[in-house]
Each structure stands twice: as structure tokens, then as C-alpha cells.
Amino acid sequence: MSEATSWRLVVRALAAGLVAAVAILYFFGNGSSAGQDQNPVGPRSSLSIETSTGVYPYQVEVADTEESRSRGLMFRREVEPGTGMLFDMGMTRDVAFWMHNTFVPLDIVFISDKGRVVSVAHGAKPRSDNRIPSAAPIRFVLELPTPEARRIGLAVGDSVRHRAIEAVAGK
């Protein structure tokens, strides 16, 4: 093999590696919406939160199946202001959430079966595998974009209203 042929092979191998690296970055690491297609935005319904500073309306997706609870807001590159996701855990129990494959910081609100805020995790770190515990048995969890919970002055004991919560609470 001649020296020129050897160099051509090296250049071709480098070019192929570069193309592969660009493709990987495009689909997995550059902030594109490539993974978002795995978790498109679903139907939304009205939810309100009453704090000491007022009543705040939101449009939320409801995660009420094992599959939708497991997926949550994973792979989303943004959560629009005024929106979120309400998880119905199916029964009152201790839970823990994590942020694996979740690309935006979230405020995680743990809610009792009566619609009262039990605890709030402010600014959960994107892509973290750390467990975020509810601190007490809960029935519902609300995920909102950070810093929404602080903006509205959300505190333990505040009231959250949604038709799924009202159905469980008997209201």
C-alpha cells in the first residue's frame, strides 16, 4: 500500500468519526428536541393553587397510569409558564421522585388526598438520579417549572384544586 493510500484511509476514518460524533451531539446533547418526540405534550385540564398571596390558575397534564407516571416530564426541553403535570399516585403513600432524563428544573409539590400541600421541593436539578422524597404519605404530585412555587409563595397547607383531587377528596 502506498503512502498516499494510507493517508486517504486515515482521512476517511477521521471523517467517518467526525460525522458520527456530530450525529450523536445533534440527537442527544445539543438541546434539540430530538427526545421530545418520545414524550409529546398531552391534553391539559384546569388546576388552581390557593396561597396566602392569591389564587393561581394552571393548565396541567394528568399522569394517572403507571406508564404516564413513569414518563412524567422526561425528555421535555421546556415546560411552558402556566403549565405543569399532576400525578395521581392511585393511593395515598410515601413516594420519591427523581429527575433522570428530565432536562428542565422543576418545583415538585407533594399533595395530600384532601388537596393540601404536604411538602415542596424547590428547583429539582435536571438529570439528577437523587431521590426527592414526599416527607409524608401523599396522593398527588404536581410538577411546575422552577421558580413557580416561590413566585406564588407556595407553602405547606396551601390548597390545590383539580377535578381528580376533588373526586378523591369527595368535594
Q: Whole-angstrom Cα distance, residue 83 to residue 8?
A: 54
| Low-confidence winner among 34-38, 103-107, 131-135 (lowest mean pLDDT) | 34-38
Q: Whole-angstrom Cα distance, residue 68 to residue 59?
A: 17
Predicted confidence band at 96 (pLDDT cuts at 50, 70, 90)? very high
Short-list 171, 160, 143, 168, CA closest to 57: 160
**Residues 159, 116: one domain?**
yes
- The number of domains in the chain is 2
**Residues 21, 43: one domain?**
no
Domain that holds residue 9: 1-30
**Residues 26, 43: one domain?**
no
Distances (CA, A) of 35 to 65, 75, 124, 127: 21, 5, 20, 14
pLDDT at 39 over 80: no
First to last CA, the chain: 83
- Residue pair 55/81 in contact (Cβ under 8 Å)? The answer is no
List phi, psi (to 5°) of 25: -60, -40
pLDDT at 36 over 50: no
Short-list 131, 132, 140, CA closest to 84: 140
**Residues 93-99, mean pLDDT to the nearest whole number:** 95
**Residues 25, 56: one domain?**
no
**Residues 113, 79: one domain?**
yes
- Look-up: residue for cell 390548597? 159
Q: Is the peptide bond before 137 cis (omega within 30 degrees of 0)?
A: no
Looking at residue 111, what is its pLDDT?
98
